Structure 1
Amino acid sequence: MRYSMLTIKSSRNGKFTSALIVALLLSIVSLASIAEEALKPLTAEKTHKTAIHDMVDQLNRRHYVKLTLNDDFSGKLLDAFIDDLDPNRLFLLKSDIDEFQKYRTRLDDELKKSDLSAGFYIFNRYRERMIVRLQYIQDSLAKTVPAMDFNVNEDIELDRTDAEWPADQAEANEIWRKQIKNRVLGLRLAKKDDKAIIELLTKRFKNQIKRMKQLEAEDAFQIYANAFASLYDPHTDYFSPRISENFQINMSLKLEGIGAVLQMEDDYTKVVRLVPAGPADKQGQLQPADRIIGVAQGKKGEMQDVIGWRLDDVVDLIRGTAGSFVRLEVIPAIAKSDETHHEIIIERNEVKLEDQSAKGEMIDITDSDGEVHQVGVIHVPTFYLDFEAYRMGDTEFRSTTRDVHRILGELLSQGAEGIVIDLRDNGGGSLAEANGMVGLFIESGPTVQIRQANARVLREGKRRSSPYYTGPLAVLINRMSASASEIFAGAIQDYQRGLVIGTQSFGKGTVQSVNALGHGQLKLTESKFYRISGDSTQNRGVIPDIAFPPLYNKEDIGESVLDNALHWDRIPQTNHNYYFDLKASIDTLQRKHEKRIAKDPDFLFLQEQISIVEGLRNKTHLSLNIDLRKKERDTQKVQQLAMENRRRVAKGEEPLESLEEDSADELAMSDEEVEAKAETDKDDEDKDKEPDPLMTEASHILVDALPYFLPERLARRP
């Protein structure tokens, strides 16, 4: 994927943006009148010219996509760079954009000559505009905040990425007036008084101004180089020396932290995904697309507001030694305004191989005739291989294929009538292990096709016939199943060896390599995955045979969301067996599935939640009237409580009087008490553990499909 653990890149839909803060200017004045110390313009260093020269050379020779540095490319680079700097069009004016048009056909020529002057000129203008704007706002807060009227009916545009650039200062001032008013309203609804609001925003703006003044030439170059790299595809990145060091730490899985993949989006630190079996994943509250707005150390540390911070600075705050606690203030993914947030307490730890290893369990499923069936479930959080043990000649080295083979044998010996492979939230890993695991379920044959930049196609898979599991099989995927997971699920589907159940997968069907530059490193895309059917996994991902309601919003998460993502296409299929005629079963299985979930409280609850989220996502404006905002917030709480109680009553449980958060109670505890509570909760969870609704339904579908897995239909040629 484009991101590594707790760092790498921020994004315009997955691309670099600078640290900036949504704020406002109340009165229409000329910013030119604001006294501001002169900033020394940043200029490219010799090392940056060396790096851009090497980047141009490597991208031209090695990238899967062959682009030509011409005037058209130059215009795209100009637009991408400006969008990365000011994605919500809050700082630069139309006059600035008009002035920058002189570079529209020149950037390609400058790149060929390793000339970075245009990029630095644009960056310096943006930096100056931002500092002047934030300085004025900071100085004005004491007067503007108390004077705000929240009884008037007006609203704010939530997404300005496609808005017109402010025509002049007066128009920019009005945009900022609403921006800061929205911030203040959110803080008021969070029960902060004007004094506290002014202190918080003043501190926030001071920090941002300080960081902008401290920016170095390396920062400007990194943004420009990444705007250039991203035109090839969203997984091609420039790593500065500092980022390169972090990348190596992250890839070794030795980082002690919370186990989350983060990116910058506008002025927020956004969660891209959680590392399977990492501290955040185990804690259970942090979710993909959540936004982190504050970080505090331990139970008693002061919460530091991190809106507008650089990504690597936020990462440094979140990192820490194993056993220590970090508190995160988070705006949930579905929230449209700042007043909806909560604190999460996570104990830092090292993500260990044994925690990420495959695990098995048995689920009892009662069919429509009342007969009980046993279904074996194998959870595979990542495709791993203990390379160090393997290199040392350890015959007991851990790997996904070896562990799944062992668990499979155990479950079958316990009477499992079918197997579900759970690949939800599995972001990939070792391609060799994905191929090896497919080999546990087919006699022999190809698993994946890899098309290189020179159009050569390589095929990998199980080369020799050997014993394999021949019984009923299903694969459960979701939007966070990516890369190697998509290779496995796609192969099982193409062979008609098993059913694929869940939601459309991520769609990352490309392969990257990291290459040294004269300064920093370049990660570039060099090849592309194709299924044995000839279909690419790129962009489209794997489409399940039986679809579940999506827990993750496809418009926010996935390859198709990223700018310049490579397109989906096909190459010729490779010869392979069809093991069963599972396509003939889909209509029947779908009808049974729909009939069952129509009465399932958990599925009904999930569908209601998705409906509410869809409504929130479709909102383009947010009211700045405090009574209307309270009404909207209270309505959402009533809806959530009613939904939860409908689910509880349907399951024979007592309804709740209100929805409460555990975090408030935890904040009153010591670190030792929190740790003890976490252990108690884990013990209780282990005792009362039940299969989750999606896994239960996937198992039901597999039981329904048992008649379609007939031994005499094995291994037939097409």
Structure 2
Amino acid sequence: MRKAFLNTAATLTLLTGLGLSASSFALIEYSKSQQETASELIEQLEERHYAKLKYDDAMSSAHLDNYLNNLDGGKMFFTAADIADFETFRTQMDDDLPQGRLDAGFSIFNRFHGLLTTRLENLVESLPTMIEAMDFEIDERYELDVDKLAWAETQAELDERWRLQIKNQVLNLRLADKPQDEISETLVKRYKNQLSRVTQYNAQDAFQIYANALTELYDPHTNYFSPRRSENFNINMRLSLEGIGAVLSPEDEYTRVARIVPAGPADKQGELKPSDRIVAVGQDEEGPFEDVIGWRLDEVVELIRGPKGSTVRLQVLPAKAGTDAERKTIKIVRNKVKLEEQSAQKRVMELPKGNGETIRVGVIDIPTFYIDFEAMRRGDENYKSTTRDVKKLIEELEEENVEGLVIDLRRNGGGSLQEANDLTGLFIEYGPTVQIRHSSRRVWRDGKRLRSTYYDGPLVVLINRLSASASEIFAGAIQDYDRGLIVGDRSYGKGTVQTMVPLTEGQLKITESKFYRISGDSTQHRGVVPDITFPSLYDPEEIGESALDNALDWDQINPVRHRRYSNIDSLVPQLTEIYRTRSSNNPEFLYLQDQLAVAEQNRAITSVSLNESVRREERKARQERSLEIENRRRMARGEEPLASLDELDEENEAMDADEDSSEDAVDDGVHLASSDNGDNGDNGDNGDDTDDSSDEIVSAEELAEEDVLLSEAGSILVDALVLQERAYALTATKQED
């Protein structure tokens, strides 16, 4: 009772400067179970987390800053006076939390809750008048980079920030051709929805935000889950959507696409991309769009999910576009992912060797590291796993006389550690694959323990920024053993292992271990650096471990003695030069580089004009630039240039229609996923073996148009074969001499 009284008294004191009475909204108070949970949380973090950080005065100070940032990162509610009031908590929280005292967190939350509620109520009431008075011919600017903002000194300064933000939202809707009479209605509805959700905030919400403001300081993968979030592990820990096959995360007021699940509905549909922002959701073919800007992540998830076979329509702002870009509508039929669709698949590329000759190169695409643990445990001899499927595919490709393999791990976010180890064993005779160091600093090694046959032909592994965790273990091992070339983009850099710990109320996901390569290098933060680097499709400042706050550092431990299978490293300088020469004349590569240059220019924009004529001219210039880039590619390919981007949209729609009419219906199935420590496989059907009755053979020309990066990976393998043949021939000639 005394703790609750202190919480209420502290809150009333903090509300004095706000000018709110205690009756203006209900105060949120913490519970006895949350006090116990707070004590347990600190104990677990200090004893079990890999970083071995103590919750002291310095971390208490950082905790306060992070908490304020999580509540009001845009600096739109608190004033400098509010922040000054909170200074009394700066070095006090590390003394209070271990004892279960939550006064600081709940007092700050209640002030924020009051400010948020009052602001939303005022907006709902005043928006129509505010919008009517807006002048879009005067020169004003809206600041996008909130890091440049200081806390507002006065309420009038906060009001001005809100006026500019609302004006920017109105202008975005005008530029999206929203009828003027619907703009006010749209924004009023948006803020009414937010107000409705704000009134439902409870002690679990407050405690979760306060707790995570601390756990995030240990590393970005250590999180506290309230009981409500713990109820749905699939959505709230993995943030995975069964409905469309996407991984979502919150970003400011938007719902951002963090990753596309391979072989899922969104992946097959092909238009939704990582870092796209979902701004509205519509049900079925013609249902009205629901504006979801400012919604909670779990509410957006609930809106997107739905029964198999039903349709959801998403309005998105593309990743590389500004907030005033035209919204793109994407229609996706909800479904589940079949295990066999997540299975490794093969194809054959026929690539030029020179002198009119071609070489057959096998490609094995591995979307995830999967294993059907349940089928394996019950003794099913045909249980599915990545390694078993890939072994079969290698045998089939060898029978088709391929002269080398490309393993495609792009967008492979990981999965079973056991499978990463076993898959590496298909390409080495024996030896360790990975080192794992626990928070106790004990190190153990895993890998192939027995000598056996293995594929010893030429090998290239293709990775990108979305290749993570188990993918990085496999690619790193292939690189360390000098068993093949790694090409593509630097990988994600997730080299940590998490464990779920039950608490009195909710759960703690805590980082207990780190992965290390047999070279001793960590995969954490830095990822796997390719031997030959391709242009990156993803912004490393937005995607990857290095883009996350407080990510654990890259470091090293002792290497493991291991065999090196070739001297292919010596060929890398020559291969890189050949690749650069070839790609400099490849219209698909040039197109990709042009697009990346435009994206880089867009990222450099830190503020936007609120003059409608200026914004329309800026958008027109961007569209003309996009048209110029597209036509440069088309002309290099011998195609007719376009008069407008609308013609390109029409072409894409026609192609989508053709694809839709030719696809068979997809049966229901279960997506099996495993945690990185290989002990958390979901139950599901085995699915049939991979169908190889109609193997796909793709020519270099077809492949270049379809996937320039895969084509280039195959060409590099061919280059390596040619260089090795020349080296052998030269050696033989010298021996004869």
Q: TM-score, normalised by structure 2?
A: 0.88
Following superposition of structure 1 onto structure 2, how do residues 214-253 of structure 1 map, counting pairs within 5 Å? Answer: 214-248=200-234
Quote the offset at 1:658 in angstroms.
2.2
Quote the offset at 1:454 in angstroms.
1.0
Equivalent residue, structure 2, for 1:697 = 712
Cα shift readout 1:218-258 (whole Å, capped 9, x = no counterpart)? 11111111111111110001112222121157889996311
Cα shift readout 1:266-325 (whole Å, capped 9, x = no counterpart)? 111111101111111111111111111111111122211111111111111111111111
Measured at CA, do residues 664 and 193 of structure 1 come closer, stay the same or move farther in structure 2, by a change above 3 Å? farther
Equivalent residue, structure 2, for 1:26 = none
Residue in structure 1 matching 2:108, options 109, 122, 145: 122
Counterpart residue type for residue 387 of structure 2: T
The 2-side partners of 1:283 and 1:116 are apart by 47
Residues 226 and 505 in structure 2, CA contact (< 8 A), matched pair in contact too: yes
The 2-side partners of 1:421 and 1:251 are apart by 29
Counterpart residue type for residue 38 of structure 2: I
Q: Larger deviation: 156-165 or 196-205?
A: 156-165
Counterpart residue type for residue 182 of structure 1: N
Question: Would you say 1:530 and 2:530 are equivalent positions?
Answer: no
User: Secondary structure of the equivalent of 1:256?
Assistant: coil
Residue in structure 2 matching 1:311, options 291, 297, 306: 297
Residue in structure 2 matching 1:73, options 39, 48, 59: 59
Equivalent residue, structure 1, for 2:334 = 348
User: Secondary structure of the equivalent of 1:40?
Assistant: coil
User: Secondary structure of the equivalent of 1:647?
Assistant: helix
Question: Would you say 1:644 and 2:659 are equivalent positions?
Answer: no
Residue in structure 1 matching 2:644, options 658, 661, 673: 658
Equivalent residue, structure 1, for 2:188 = 202
Equivalent residue, structure 1, for 2:427 = 441
User: Secondary structure of the equivalent of 1:377?
Assistant: strand
The 1-side partners of 2:474 and 2:41 are apart by 33
Following superposition of structure 1 onto structure 2, how do residues 582-593 of structure 1 map, counting pairs within 5 Å? Answer: 582-593=568-579
Residue in structure 2 matching 1:105, options 80, 91, 116: 91
The 2-side partners of 1:368 and 1:567 are apart by 45
The 2-side partners of 1:122 and 1:515 are apart by 27
Residues 474 and 702 in structure 1, CA contact (< 8 A), matched pair in contact too: yes
Cα shift readout 1:662-686 (whole Å, capped 9, x = no counterpart)? 999999x9xxxx9996243789xx9
Measured at CA, do residues 155 and 217 of structure 1 come closer, stay the same or move farther in structure 2, by a change above 3 Å? same
User: Secondary structure of the equivalent of 2:24?
Assistant: coil
Counterpart residue type for residue 715 of structure 2: H
Q: Larger deviation: 317-326 or 244-253?
A: 244-253
Quote the offset at 1:368 in angstroms.
3.8
Question: Would you say 1:324 and 2:324 are equivalent positions?
Answer: no
The 1-side partners of 2:243 and 2:284 are apart by 13
User: Secondary structure of the equivalent of 2:645?
Assistant: coil
Equivalent residue, structure 2, for 1:403 = 389
User: Secondary structure of the equivalent of 2:278?
Assistant: strand
Residues 296 and 304 in structure 1, CA contact (< 8 A), matched pair in contact too: yes
Residues 72 and 78 in structure 2, CA contact (< 8 A), matched pair in contact too: yes
Cα shift readout 1:440-492 (whole Å, capped 9, x = no counterpart)? 00111111111111111111111111000111000000000000000000011
Quote the offset at 1:699 in angstroms.
0.3
Equivalent residue, structure 2, for 1:632 = 618
The 2-side partners of 1:442 and 1:707 are apart by 23
Measured at CA, do residues 548 and 665 of structure 1 come closer, stay the same or move farther in structure 2, by a change above 3 Å? closer
Residue in structure 1 matching 2:344, options 345, 354, 358: 358
User: Secondary structure of the equivalent of 1:88?
Assistant: coil
User: Secondary structure of the equivalent of 2:348?
Assistant: strand
RMSD, aligned α-carbons: 2.5
Measured at CA, do residues 249 and 170 of structure 1 come closer, stay the same or move farther in structure 2, by a change above 3 Å? closer
Cα shift readout 1:675-714 (whole Å, capped 9, x = no counterpart)? 996243789xx9997451100011000100115668999x
Aligned length: 676
User: Secondary structure of the equivalent of 1:333?
Assistant: coil
The 2-side partners of 1:451 and 1:34 are apart by 52
Question: Would you say 1:463 and 2:445 are equivalent positions?
Answer: no
Residues 234 and 240 in structure 2, CA contact (< 8 A), matched pair in contact too: no
Counterpart residue type for residue 441 of structure 1: F
User: Secondary structure of the equivalent of 1:148?
Assistant: coil
Unpaired runs of 5+ in structure 2?
A: 1-16, 666-695, 729-737
The 2-side partners of 1:265 and 1:286 are apart by 17
User: Secondary structure of the equivalent of 2:258?
Assistant: strand
Question: Would you say 1:620 and 2:606 are equivalent positions?
Answer: yes
Quote the offset at 1:329 in angstroms.
0.9
Measured at CA, do residues 666 and 590 of structure 1 come closer, stay the same or move farther in structure 2, by a change above 3 Å? closer
The 2-side partners of 1:607 and 1:494 are apart by 30
Residues 538 and 568 in structure 1, CA contact (< 8 A), matched pair in contact too: yes
User: Secondary structure of the equivalent of 1:351?
Assistant: coil
Following superposition of structure 1 onto structure 2, how do residues 272-421 of structure 1 map, counting pairs within 5 Å? Answer: 272-421=258-407
The percent of aligned pairs where both chains have the same amino acid is 52
Equivalent residue, structure 1, for 2:662 = 680
The 1-side partners of 2:650 and 2:230 are apart by 38
Measured at CA, do residues 124 and 564 of structure 1 come closer, stay the same or move farther in structure 2, by a change above 3 Å? same
Residues 348 and 363 in structure 2, CA contact (< 8 A), matched pair in contact too: yes
Measured at CA, do residues 53 and 126 of structure 1 come closer, stay the same or move farther in structure 2, by a change above 3 Å? same
Equivalent residue, structure 1, for 2:531 = 545
Q: TM-score, normalised by structure 1?
A: 0.90
Q: Larger deviation: 689-698 or 356-365?
A: 689-698
Equivalent residue, structure 2, for 1:257 = 243
Q: Larger deviation: 426-435 or 689-698?
A: 689-698
Question: Would you say 1:60 and 2:46 are equivalent positions?
Answer: yes
Cα shift readout 1:334-365 (whole Å, capped 9, x = no counterpart)? 12224431111111111221111000000010
Residues 495 and 578 in structure 1, CA contact (< 8 A), matched pair in contact too: yes
Cα shift readout 1:556-609 (whole Å, capped 9, x = no counterpart)? 100011111000001111000111112211110011001101110100000000
User: Secondary structure of the equivalent of 1:214?
Assistant: coil
Following superposition of structure 1 onto structure 2, how do residues 542-581 of structure 1 map, counting pairs within 5 Å? Answer: 542-581=528-567
Quote the offset at 1:367 in angstroms.
2.6
The 1-side partners of 2:721 and 2:651 are apart by 48
Equivalent residue, structure 1, for 2:690 = none
Q: Larger deviation: 417-426 or 51-60?
A: 51-60
Residues 88 and 159 in structure 1, CA contact (< 8 A), matched pair in contact too: no
The 1-side partners of 2:85 and 2:576 are apart by 58
User: Secondary structure of the equivalent of 2:478?
Assistant: helix
The 2-side partners of 1:628 and 1:169 are apart by 30
Q: Larger deviation: 241-250 or 135-144?
A: 241-250
Counterpart residue type for residue 267 of structure 1: E
The 2-side partners of 1:682 and 1:614 are apart by 40
Residues 280 and 290 in structure 2, CA contact (< 8 A), matched pair in contact too: yes
Quote the offset at 1:54 in angstroms.
1.9
The 2-side partners of 1:416 and 1:632 are apart by 51
Quote the offset at 1:542 in angstroms.
0.5
Residue in structure 1 matching 2:170, options 184, 190, 201: 184
Quote the offset at 1:391 in angstroms.
1.2
Following superposition of structure 1 onto structure 2, how do residues 482-497 of structure 1 map, counting pairs within 5 Å? Answer: 482-497=468-483
Equivalent residue, structure 2, for 1:25 = none
The 1-side partners of 2:235 and 2:22 are apart by 40
Equivalent residue, structure 2, for 1:422 = 408
Measured at CA, do residues 549 and 223 of structure 1 come closer, stay the same or move farther in structure 2, by a change above 3 Å? same
The 2-side partners of 1:73 and 1:33 are apart by 32
